[in-house]
Structure 1
């Protein structure tokens, strides 16, 4: 029996204003037609994916507090963000988000990405990925509910681990010379492009939010995520994961 869901939550501001696509309503996403299958490829509908993610989150005790959606390539590629919380989670100024993506042009499999949004500035950064299926196989649609339940079952541990890492970022002090070295390394690691270096330096030297005045890895983190705003969400996933890897290298943490 299908789980009865509440109305769609209000849009999450500032999450999906990106180049190469357009923001969309849930109704827009639901009206995208799914291409017919071939002998080797069985696409999942964007609609079923959105419905299953919300059902799965609610069923596992998460609160869905907001959502945003985007479409590109004439609807063939979909990306959505759900802001979620747990009643037992203490307030720390950092929100949890789950990104959902799907494609009808064989560019990537359906999957989830986990990340954070910073309450004071809506900066978004993804840290990890959970695939629903390695490819759109014959039984992917039939097994979607099971695949989604399994994927959401992994979210709690990943998100709590992310909270622990962010706490470590907040406690780790940085000097300017270390920051300059990290920014150069971040180009090599494709966290940013060379043209974004001045913007990251400006956000580090003159943060627009008082919360990021302390000279810590957390403040540098937010200098990067402020610059990430407005980018293509698919690229943001890769850059967010690379940024986490860079910061974990500073702390000597395993990925």
Structure 2
């Protein structure tokens, strides 16, 4: 299963792809050329489809009367047992942030503007923004097989690594010190 997280907690509301099409981009002004949210989603979906990726599940949301768009797409592309590729996408038509695409084994997209994964693509809304975004998405999707292979090797190495109890406990507590494990989760992790 892909590990994508779409967090909508600052007033964003979930939408379907059909509802997303209702949000129209404003007219360009000066050097700013916004793209409609549905166009951004279609570019990502079409590019993934042309490369042979299948979207298993998608979660979409909009914020501020539809001026900001956030989404995650879980793909049927395993990296390792229990882990698959996921994609994040975001767009704004209020000049608040650039077009965005992210992909990897763990994708985090939030309406508080957190946008994180192993592979990131961003492009400003300029006269050539759509063309450049399409090209960069194609390059990013083209690099996914190599990323998948490298991540699969990493997961395999981690799964085959043997740790004695003392070393495992030390790593868990180090994760706690670094803030990777919260105090409320410590007992469960141990």
**TM-score of the pair, normalised by structure 1:** 0.59
Give secondary structure in 1 for the equivalent of 2:138: helix
Cα pair distance change 1:181/1:14, threshold 3 Å: closer
State the partner residue of 1:198.
183
In the alignment, structure 1 segments of 5+ residues that lack a partner are: 1-11, 118-124, 206-255
Paired residue for 2:109?
Answer: none
* Residue correspondence of structure 1 range 1-255 to structure 2 within 5 A: 15-20=5-10, 21-86=12-77, 92-116=81-105, 127-133=117-123, 135-172=124-161, 173=163, 174-186=167-179, 197-205=182-190
Is the 8 Å Cα contact of residues 111 and 129 (structure 1) preserved in structure 2? no
Equivalent-residue separation in structure 1 for 2:189 and 2:152 (angstroms): 22
How far off is 1:90 after superposition? 7.4
For 1:175 and 1:166, the matched residues in 2 are separated by: 17
Gaps of 5+ in 2: 107-114
Q: Distance in 1 between matches of 2:101 and 2:82?
A: 23
Which structure's residues are more often strand, by fraction?
A: 2
Residue-pair matches, total:
176
Secondary structure of the structure 1 residue equivalent to 2:144: helix
Give the corresponding residue for 2:111. Answer: none
Alpha carbons 2:3, 2:105 under 8 Å: kept: no
Residue by residue, what CA displacement relative to the aligned partner does 1:185-206 show, whole Å, maximum 9, x if unpaired? 13xxxx57xxxx222313303x
- Cα-to-partner distance string for 1:79-112 (whole Å, 9 max, x where unaligned): 11112134xx576111211111112233332121
Distance 1:130 1:171, change over 3 A: same
Separation in 1, partners of 2:4, 2:131: 34
Tell me: CA distance 1:73–1:168, structure 2 relative to 1, closer, same or farther (3 Å).
farther
In the TM superposition, residue 144 of structure 1 has moved relative to its aligned partner by: 4.4
CA distance in 1, matches of 2:16, 2:32: 27
Q: Partners in 1 of 2:151 and 2:3 — Cα distance?
A: 22
CA-based RMSD: 2.8
Confirm or deny: 8 A CA contact 1:16 1:23 kept in the other structure.
Answer: no
Taking structure 1 as reference, are residues 13 and 116 closer, same or farther at Cα in structure 2, changes over 3 Å only? closer
Alpha carbons of 1:26 and 1:127: their partners in 2 closer, same or farther (altered >3 Å)?
Answer: same
For residue 56 of structure 1, give the secondary structure of its aligned residue in structure 2.
Answer: helix
* TM-score after normalising by structure 2: 0.77
The structure-2 alpha-carbon separation of the partners of 1:103 and 1:155, relative to structure 1 and needing over 3 Å to count, comes to farther
Question: Quick check: 1:132–1:148 contact (8 Å CA) kept in 2?
Answer: no
CA spacing shift, 1:164–1:178, aligned 2, 3 Å: same
Cα distance in 2 between the residues matched to 1:178 and 1:13: 22
